[in-house]
Amino acid sequence: MKYTTYNFNGKKILITGGAGFIGSNLALYFQREYPGAEVTILDKFRGEERFPNGNLKALGHFKNLVNFRGEVIVGDLGNRRELEEILGGRKFDFIFHQGAISDTTAQDQGEILRVNLNSFYQILEFGERWGAPVVYASSGAVYGKLPGPHRIGEEAPANVYGFSKLMMDQITLKWQGKIPVVGLRYFNVYGPNEFWKGKTASMVLQLGLQILSGKSPRLFEGSEKIKRDFIFVEDVIQANILGAVKGVTGVFNVGTGEARSFKEVEEILQTLLGTSLPVEWIPNPYTKQYQFFTQADITSTREKLDYIPRYRLEEGIAQYLPEIERIYREEVAQ
Ligand SMILES: NC(=O)c1ccc[n+]([C@@H]2O[C@H](COP(=O)([O-])OP(=O)(O)OC[C@H]3O[C@@H](n4cnc5c(N)ncnc54)[C@H](O)[C@@H]3O)[C@@H](O)[C@H]2O)c1
């Protein structure tokens, strides 16, 4: 669906991190709704490199893009010279900057800040050079363990990933440049194309796949009280589109405004799938840097961007379920 009367057909659009979960959804959204838009994806794509926690350093996967008909370029946000070589001689009308080390449990502070924060300065330089608005992915992780509802201006990241996003947002909040810069603090996003995030994919997918395989859904102890603001990827796309065309600069929360428990996610999935498997409770190994409660205050997102979340958790999961079943059939049950 279209969220604005602005016509992106004929526009040149750069999406960093476009081989990842959210970036690929955005690229495919433009392809579907604005077939005349020229979309270019820049992504590092996955390699062999892993963090000590076992997770891959870059999660982009070609399978997210098999239906994409635009341009794909491999490039490393952590390499300033390479980005200048690839992008320096080109010009885009909009930049959607989704590329990042997205792993909230990774500990390599220098590497995360180099890729997430340093590249942001360069992305802003490109935006200024081209006169292209920059919309970028921030995160609800900036709020750390603060009690919700979470508001812009009250942050306390509990991990270096959240810190990297907060540093980007601080640049935006002081931004005096010529182009609009919009930071979108996504909360817990779920939806198609997240399978390749592996262990860092949402609990909606992970629990869905466990239930489909007939196993007990695994939840951290106390999960009826661990609540998050779960947001369907389609609403994240909406926020990106609105962020690009409103001409405002600022940082905005992107959630539903509602906190729901992991136990509720499990219950919704079991109801939709017609199962009643017993839960397996497991200890939470991440308690030090874990967010036990997130809830986005979306007042300013509604007011300044005209953003209206369209999917409550039940609706988002119901819409997503056929894709979870396809993933189970084609990628898991093989
Ligand atoms: N999924 C969520 O719940 C969520 C929540 C808050 C914020 N975010 C942010 O949204 C954005 C997209 O997240 P996602 O969930 O799609 O994660 P993702 O890991 O699937 O996507 C990130 C993409 O960035 C690419 N990338 C990583 N390092 C790179 C580098 N050095 N150079 C070029 N590309 C590189 C990856 O290959 C990947 O395709 C990220 O900035 C993430 O921090 C996501």
Ligand 1 atom 43, closest CA? 102
Helix/strand/coil for 48 = coil
CA–CA separation, 227 and 195 (whole Å): 22
Please give the distance, rounded to the nearest whole angstrom, from the Cα atom of residue 55 to the centre of ligand 1.
13
Ligand 1 atom 23, closest CA? 17
In the prediction, which pLDDT does 288 show? 77
In the prediction, which pLDDT does 289 show? 73
In the prediction, which pLDDT does 291 show? 87
In the prediction, which pLDDT does 3 show? 98
Pocket test residue of 14, 22, 204 for ligand 1, highest count of atoms within 8 A of CB: 22
Nearest to 305 by CA among 258, 230, 247, 229: 247
In the prediction, which pLDDT does 156 show? 96
Pocket test residue of 46, 98, 236 for ligand 1, highest count of atoms within 8 A of CB: 98
Q: What are phi and psi of 18, to 5 degrees?
A: -75, -10
CA–CA separation, 82 and 137 (whole Å): 22
In the prediction, which pLDDT does 9 show? 98
- Going residue by residue through the chain, which has 334 residues, state the pLDDT in tens, using 9 for 90 and above: 999 999 999 999 999 999 999 999 999 999 999 999 999 999 999 999 999 989 999 999 999 999 999 999 999 999 999 999 999 999 999 999 999 999 988 889 999 999 999 999 999 999 999 999 999 999 999 999 999 999 999 999 999 999 999 999 999 999 999 999 999 999 999 999 999 999 999 999 999 999 999 999 999 999 999 999 999 999 999 999 999 999 999 999 999 999 999 999 999 999 999 999 999 999 998 887 788 999 999 999 999 999 999 999 999 999 999 999 999 999 999 7
Ligand 1 atom 10, closest CA? 137
145 is catalytic: no
In the prediction, which pLDDT does 285 show? 86
CATH of domain 12-332: 3.40.50.720
In the prediction, which pLDDT does 201 show? 96
Q: Which residues surround ligand 1 with Cβ inside 6 Å?
A: 17, 19-23, 43-45, 58-60, 76-78, 98-102, 115, 137, 139, 186, 188-189, 197
Residue 220: how many CB atoms within 10 A of its CB?
A: 17
**Residues 6+ away with beta carbon under 8 Å from 140:** 150, 185, 186, 187, 188, 229, 253, 255, 291, 294, 296
Q: Find the DSSP H helices in the chain.
A: 21-33, 80-87, 109-113, 119-130, 160-173, 203-212, 233-245, 262-273, 299-305, 313-327
Which residues pair with residue 253 across a beta bridge? 185
Q: Which atom of ligand 1 is nearest to the CA of 161?
A: 43
> Which one of the listed residues 34, 161, 186, 328 is annotated catalytic?
161
Nearest to 296 by CA among 240, 260, 253: 253
161 is catalytic: yes
> Which one of the listed residues 44, 165, 197, 227 is annotated catalytic?
197
Please give the distance, rounded to the nearest whole angstrom, from the Cα atom of residue 107 to the centre of ligand 1.
16
| Pairing verdict, β 260-261 and 227-228 | antiparallel
